[in-house]
Structure 1
Amino acid sequence: MKKGLLVVVCLATAAGCSTQGQVDPDVMQIATTPLTCSTKAECDVWWQRAQTWVAGHSKYKIESATATLIQTAGPDGGKRALAYEITRTPNPDGTATIGFAAHCDGSMGCTPNPWQAGADFKQFVRGTAAGAPQSGEKPSRPAPTEMHPEASGQSIPGAGGEAVTQ
């Protein structure tokens, strides 16, 4: 009886490990699709939505909110909460790309999953998520803060050490 129970426990543990770290293909596709706005007006609305999303989803305070960077504090040592870095980069054709990066410092992974957070962020910014402001609505905008001194050159590791930049 004990031997049978041990086999069941080992199989359950192995099954749990085999799915850990896997990301739903639909979530991965949304999270990795570039977020590129077409006009200055659209880019401005999307940038406001980006800041609204970060303010509503981050457990950390926004430390920097400029025309090209939204960055939160964190991550704090050992915490699973995500810290965010959102960038707005102009493209030569007049469009702009909004980049998303999320990382935590938890040895047991991040909460929420960085890929799911990226997919949720992109859907919200595009206005395709439930509760996202529509194109005519102005999202609330938190007051800008000064740029964090460590904003440039920061490595963004994800759960398990891999980079989570989308």
Structure 2
Amino acid sequence: MKNKVLLAALCLVAAAACSTQGQVDPDIMQIATKPLTCSNKAECDLWWQRAHTWVASHSKYEIEIANDSLIQTTGPDGGKRALAYQITRAASPDGTETIGFSAHCDSSLGCKPNPWEAGADFKLYVRGEGAGVPQGSAIPSQKAPDATHPETLPGRSATLPNGEVMSQ
């Protein structure tokens, strides 16, 4: 009986946390869910280079795989709030390519940073619209992983209409 009461109390605390912190800014959501589609080889190669730079500078986990179609970090580690990333690159018959973004953590307390905010920041950076993005055809420089992240929301995953997976 004592365990049931404790479990019920924990569920209520978790539900309360989700209900008060589960809001995602609609502007962030719109940016995060907009497909990342490049239109030609030069643009796609530049965007893929930027995608790699963004992951290298934002992930607390090391990059495990980096090739022409996949950038994937290690993680997530049990119970940690840090995001693990999986970035994909897929060609379409019309010559365009789509870069997919997936981020998730393994914590019941939520992810840090918020996956929706990370997705929006990633897409702005890759498109060349974010802060600190090299312009033109310059190859982005690699910088050390960012040790600071904003507070975030409790975690859960969702599949977006464009097939990307976002976790929050």
Q: What range is the shorter-chain TM-score in? A: 0.7 to 0.9
Pairing of 1:89-128 with structure 2 (within 5 A): 89-128=90-129
Contact 1:75 1:105 in 2 (8 A): yes
RMSD: 2.1
SS in 2 for 1:89: strand
Q: State the aligned residue count.
A: 138
Matched, 1:57 2:58: yes
Contact 1:36 1:98 in 2 (8 A): yes
Residues 1-166 of structure 1 mapped to structure 2, 5 A cutoff? 18-140=19-141, 159-163=155-159, 165=165
TM-score by length of 2: 0.76
Cα deviation, residue 160, structure 1: 2.6
Detail structure 1 runs of 4+ shifted over 2 Å in the superposition.
14-19, 160-164
Deviations 1:120-163 (A, max 9, x none): 00000000001011123111369xxxxxxxxxxxxxxx913445
Q: Write the deviation string for residues 37-70 of structure 1: whole angstroms up to 9, x where unpaired.
A: 0000000000000000000000000000000000
2:70 and 2:16 map into 1 onto residues whose CA distance is 41
Partner AA of 1:114 in structure 2: P
Query: What SS class does the counterpart of residue 88 from structure 2 fall into?
Result: strand
CA distance in 2, matches of 1:76, 1:119: 23
- TM-score, L = length of structure 1: 0.77
Go from structure 1 to structure 2 and tell me whether the alpha carbon gap of 1:15 and 1:50 turns closer, same or farther (over 3 Å shift).
same
Gaps of 5+ in 2: 1-14, 144-153
